[in-house]
């Protein structure tokens, strides 16, 4: 941690004094400013680039737009599986990328443009912000420096892609999520370093669009935070589509070749492998944007992995809050928004609120999708928690059968005696939507019994949640109780012995 005594700031006139100053106009900053002004606070939001942040320009929106185009291409190329003849299907990569850029501009204009927030009463300032003292912020622009003062200040400056210390990397062109969506020419061979969500999503997208993709990962599997059985199933699907994985491999160096390609030298099992590519995408994680803020002047503690905050977003300076990726706590747009809402509500209304860390969902938007909420199976086992795992395969979901999307499984971790949900993992079509029902159930104490007793429409993917909940009833079945009922009512049917592996 770093901490330094602040210096004196120049006087600030009344027009430059605010109830709340928000530094950063990404998901967290936009939410913080919106909540503050709705509560009645005089609010200033500072952004050095375009509002919307990484999600709109370099992350969620463009990546999902690209994944959609890739899925359409894949569906058309395999249309014969649905009895449809679609000859001569081809991909216009430049048109695909133009669509991606058009959609993110549309989202910006509909949701993130400065005029939208100015109409709400928020002043939007464009420039680079840094602290002068714990209440004063300087905004550097081409026209000079403006000093503003805030009773409360929110740091929401986000994060950026990590550039790993690989020999030769500075001497070759490489892509990150900031440059990937500016491509107009499709790489015939794309190497991706890192098998996290960004790397895996883009591996499938570019493969389906026609690139030969190789993913290099230091770990022994993809998507380390997700259930190994489910990631194994997903990896198999991706390999079937053509993605090549080089796991447990350490990239030692990269270099340009005489023909303009890039050669990646990686060590795996003490043997060196050389991977040739036309482009390299770095997907090795993200680092919080704290440089240039002059946090020392405000006395705000920070480290390379972010600004530490308590469970309501306060830094060590209680009138200064930090939300979203800059805290290093979560790397999800939805958590940035949740953190901002919690932080501002507590700070301005004194309502005793804290972050909901027990029900954080995440989704990797591959096809099929991979989602999770709550505790993982490994965490529950490590903590010695008593639980049972309830499973339901997509191969038994009638809607998945009609759609031809039968790869996947729902796993719910719950207490055996009353069906209290502790966590859930889903691999399958629309997993991102299904996990929301389970997150809602967890937060509000809805048990598997209650889910099982709730009518779900048929045939729908949502019905799969009820079907997995049915497994709780099935595993509660007791042969002893059945025999007692038979004696009581004179029934003579078979007695089904309980079986944890039986799917009903």
Q: How many CB atoms lie within 10 A of CB 66?
A: 23
Is a pLDDT exceeding 90 seen at residue 91?
yes
Q: How many CB atoms lie within 10 A of CB 297?
A: 20
Q: How big is the CA angle at 438 (ends 158 and 74), to the nearest 5 degrees?
A: 70
First to last CA, the chain: 54
Distance between CA 308 and CA 341 in Å, rounded?
18
pLDDT at 1: 39
How far is residue 396 from each of residues 372, 404, 406, 410, measured CA to CA in Å?
A: 20, 12, 8, 11
C-alpha closest to that of 231 among 362, 332, 369, 330: 369
What is the arithmetic mean of pLDDT over 251-255? 95
For residue 332, give the H/E element and its range.
none
Q: Residue 347 region, left (φ>0) first, then alpha (ψ -120 to 50), else beta?
A: alpha
What is the arithmetic mean of pLDDT over 397-404? 97
The two structure tokens encoding residue 270: 């003490």
Distance between CA 396 and CA 503 in Å, rounded?
9
Out of 261-275, 394-408, 411-425, pick the least confident.
261-275
Three-state SS across 215-241? EECCCCCCCCCCCHHHHHHHHHHHHHH
Domains and CATH numbers, the chain: 14-51+113-160+287-349 (3.50.50.60), 169-285 (3.50.50.60), 362-489 (3.30.390.30)
What is the arithmetic mean of pLDDT over 300-311? 95
Strand partners, 363: 371
What is the arithmetic mean of pLDDT over 399-405? 97
pLDDT at 395: 97
Is a pLDDT exceeding 70 seen at residue 7?
no
pLDDT at 503: 83
How far is residue 202 from each of residues 66, 176, 180, 198, 258, measured CA to CA in Å?
A: 8, 11, 10, 6, 27
pLDDT at 2: 39
Distance between CA 149 and CA 18 in Å, rounded?
6
Give me the half-sphere count of Cα atoms (radius 13 Å) on the Cβ side of residue 353. 18
Distance between CA 189 and CA 206 in Å, rounded?
9
What is the arithmetic mean of pLDDT over 245-264? 93
Q: Which residues are annotated as a binding site for FAD?
A: 64, 325
pLDDT at 501: 75
Three-state SS across 6-28? CCCCCCCCHHHEEEEEEECCCHH
What is the arithmetic mean of pLDDT over 265-277? 91
pLDDT at 12: 85
Before 459, cis peptide (omega within 30)? yes
Out of 154-158, 176-180, 269-273, 424-428, pick the least confident.
269-273
The two structure tokens encoding residue 182: 């500016």
Q: Which residues are annotated as a binding site?
A: 64, 194-201, 217, 285, 325
What is the arithmetic mean of pLDDT over 20-44? 97
Give me the half-sphere count of Cα atoms (radius 13 Å) on the Cβ side of residue 225. 15
Is a pLDDT exceeding 70 seen at residue 462?
yes
pLDDT at 120: 96
Residues 124/112, Cβ–Cβ less than 8 Å:
no
Distance between CA 225 and CA 248 in Å, rounded?
16
The two structure tokens encoding residue 49: 């680039």
The mean predicted confidence, pLDDT, of the chain is 94
Q: Which tens digits make up the pLDDT trace of 465-498?
A: 999 999 998 888 777 887 888 888 998 888 887 7
Residues 132/140, Cβ–Cβ less than 8 Å:
no
Is a pLDDT exceeding 90 seen at residue 358?
yes
Instruction: Report which DSSP code applies to 314.
Output: B
- Predicted structure pTM score: 0.93
pLDDT at 5: 40
Q: Which tens digits make up the pLDDT trace of 369-378?
A: 999 999 999 9
Percent of the chain exceeding pLDDT 70 equals 98
Residues 47/103, Cβ–Cβ less than 8 Å:
no
Is a pLDDT exceeding 60 seen at residue 348?
yes
What is the arithmetic mean of pLDDT over 425-430? 98
Residues shown for the chain: 504
Is a pLDDT exceeding 90 seen at residue 192?
yes
pLDDT at 280: 97
Distance between CA 405 and CA 185 in Å, rounded?
31
Q: Which tens digits make up the pLDDT trace of 316-334?
A: 999 999 999 999 988 899 9
Out of 87-96, 222-231, 488-497, pick the least confident.
488-497
Q: Which residues are annotated as a binding site for NAD(+)?
A: 194-201, 217, 285
């Amino acid at each position: 941690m770093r901490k330094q005594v602040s210096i004196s700031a120049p006087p600030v006139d009344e027009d430059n004094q605010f109830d709340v100053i928000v530094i950063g106009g990404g998901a967290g900053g936009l939410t913080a400013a919106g909540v503050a002004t709705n509560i009645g606070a005089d609010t200033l939001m500072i952004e050095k680039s375009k509002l919307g942040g990484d999600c709109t320009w370099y992350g969620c929106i463009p990546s999902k737009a690209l994944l959609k185009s890739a899925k359409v291409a894949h569906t058309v190329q395999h249309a014969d599986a649905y009895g449809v003849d679609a000859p001569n299907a081809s991909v216009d990569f430049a048109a695909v990328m133009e669509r991606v850029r058009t959609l993110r501009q549309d989202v910006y204009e509909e949701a993130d443009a400065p005029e939208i927030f100015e109409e709400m009463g928020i002043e939007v300032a464009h420039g680079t912000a840094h602290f002068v003292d714990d209440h004063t912020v300087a905004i550097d622009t081409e026209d000079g420096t403006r000093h503003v003062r805030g009773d409360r200040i929110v740091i929401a400056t986000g994060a950026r892609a990590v550039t790993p210390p690989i020999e030769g990397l500075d001497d070759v062109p490489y892509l990150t999520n900031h440059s990937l969506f500016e491509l107009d020419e499709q790489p015939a061979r794309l190497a991706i370093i890192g098998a996290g969500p960004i790397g895996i999503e883009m591996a499938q997208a570019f493969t389906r669009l026609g690139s030969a993709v190789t993913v290099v990962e230091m770990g022994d599997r993809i998507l380390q935070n997700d259930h190994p059985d489910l990631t194994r199933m997903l990896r198999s699907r991706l390999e079937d589509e053509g993605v090549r994985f080089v796991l447990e491999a350490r990239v030692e160096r990269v270099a340009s070749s005489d023909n303009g390609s890039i050669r990646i030298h990686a060590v795996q099992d003490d043997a060196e492998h050389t991977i040739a590519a036309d482009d390299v995408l770095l997907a090795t994680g993200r680092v919080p944007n704290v440089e240039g803020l002059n946090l020392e002047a405000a006395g705000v503690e920070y480290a390379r992995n972010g600004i530490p905050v308590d469970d309501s977003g306060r830094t060590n300076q209680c009138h200064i809050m930090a939300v979203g990726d800059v805290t290093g706590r979560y790397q999800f747009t939805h958590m940035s928004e949740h953190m901002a809402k919690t932080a501002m509500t507590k700070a301005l209304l004194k309502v005793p609120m804290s972050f909901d860390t027990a029900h954080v969902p995440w989704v990797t938007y591959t096809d099929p999708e991979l989602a999770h909420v709550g505790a993982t199976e490994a965490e529950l086992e490590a903590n010695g928690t008593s639980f049972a795992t309830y499973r339901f395969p997509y191969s038994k979901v009638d809607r998945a059968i009609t759609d031809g999307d039968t790869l996947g499984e729902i796993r719910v971790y719950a207490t055996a005696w009353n069906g209290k949900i502790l966590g859930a993992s889903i691999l399958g079509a629309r997993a991102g939507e299904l996990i929301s029902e389970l997150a809602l159930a967890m937060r509000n104490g809805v048990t598997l019994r209650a889910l099982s007793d709730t009518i779900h429409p048929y045939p729908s993917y949502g019905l799969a949640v009820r079907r997995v909940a049915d497994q709780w009833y099935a595993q509660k079945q007791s042969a002893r109780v059945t025999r007692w009922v038979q004696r009581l009512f004179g029934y003579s049917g078979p007695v089904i012995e309980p079986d944890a592996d039986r799917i009903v």
